């Protein structure tokens, strides 16, 4: 599927076929291709919890306004970020780059993040945003529908998935076979959103 078609066809799907099972191969392709998304310094902050246990799905749904996508989607991914990924053997993120690039980037990366928790979190969230969009477009290409979700109690979900310290939840993405017709699309005109040169 062409990217433009995938973007046009993707909608935030509210109901999924609860009986549809996604194959292991599809799950692997979804995540492997999505992980080709760009990330700052190639840190790949994303850590994905693939919630498969029906009881755990039900527990998450209970703290997610009862939204049916949580239990009915074929896959439910909680997109988390490792906020310390920048200092976990960072040289591994650049092993395939020329040595002068590695020599330049490693100290730069340290300077960029050390002692700057807000920067580390912002960067991680940017990476999760891009990863999640890739995930939804790959899903579209594979014949699936999706829904990004942050309508849930973050602390409660953190407990349910045993979120480690120094990790943060970005949002969830539910993927499955949609069973509803999306509401008509609603977007602001581009002219209202774009400024030339400055605000
Ligand atoms: C970060 C984020 C969180 C969202 N959370 C929810 C959610 O909890 N439940 C839901 O049904 N849709 C959720 N949405 C979907 C938006 O409501 C939807 O993308 C928007 O209304 C535009 O519709 P469209 O995606 O079909 O074009 C979320 C979207 C984003 C980006």
What mean pLDDT comes out for the span 18-38?
98
Q: How far is the CA of 112 from the centre of ligand 1 (A)?
A: 32
Does residue 147 line the site of ligand 1, with CB under 6 A? yes
- pLDDT at residue 110, as a whole number: 94
- The CATH number of 3-87+116-180 is 3.40.109.10
Does residue 185 line the site of ligand 1, with CB under 6 A? yes
DSSP characters over the chain: --HHHHHHH--B---B-TTPPPPHHHHHHHHHHHTTS--GGG---EEEEE---HHHHHHHHHTTTT-THHHHSSEEEEEEEETTGGGSSGGGGGTTS-HHHHHHHHHHHHHHHTT-HHHHHHHHHHHHHHHHHHHHHHHHHTT-EEEEE--S-HHHHHHHTTPPTTEEEEEEEEEE-B-SPPPPP----HHHH--SS--
Spell out the residues 6+ positions from residue 4 whose beta carbon is closer than 8 angstroms to its own.
none
Domain range annotation of the chain:
3-87+116-180
Give residue 174's pLDDT band: very low, low, confident or very high (50, 70, 90).
very high
Q: Which atom of ligand 1 is nearest to the CA of 69?
A: 11
Does residue 150 line the site of ligand 1, with CB under 6 A? yes
Pocket test for ligand 1, best of 8, 61, 129, 147 (most atoms within 8 A of CB): 147
Per residue in 68-105, pLDDT tens?
999 999 999 999 999 999 999 999 999 999 999 999 99
- pLDDT at residue 1, as a whole number: 67
* Cα 197 to Cα 199: distance, rounded to the nearest angstrom: 7
């Amino acid at each position: 599927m062409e990217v433009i078609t995938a973007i046009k066809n993707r909608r935030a799907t509210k109901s999924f076929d609860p009986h549809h099972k996604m194959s292991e191969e599809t799950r692997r392709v979804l995540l492997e291709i999505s992980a080709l998304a760009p990330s700052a310094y190639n840190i790949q902050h994303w850590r994905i919890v693939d919630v498969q246990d029906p009881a755990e799905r039900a527990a998450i749904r209970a703290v997610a306004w009862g939204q049916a996508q949580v239990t009915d989607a074929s896959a439910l991914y909680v997109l988390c970020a490792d906020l310390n990924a920048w200092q976990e053997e960072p040289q591994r993120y650049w092993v395939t780059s020329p040595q002068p690039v590695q020599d330049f980037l490693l100290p730069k990366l340290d300077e960029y993040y050390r002692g700057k928790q807000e920067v580390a979190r912002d960067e991680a969230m940017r990476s999760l945003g891009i990863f999640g969009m890739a995930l939804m477009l790959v899903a579209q290409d594979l014949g699936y529908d999706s829904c990004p979700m942050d309508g849930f109690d973050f602390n409660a979900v953190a407990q349910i998935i045993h979120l480690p310290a120094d990790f943060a939840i970005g949002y969830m993405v539910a993927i499955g076979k949609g069973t509803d017709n999306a509401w008509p699309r609603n977007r602001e005109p581009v002219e209202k959103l774009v400024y030339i040169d400055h605000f």
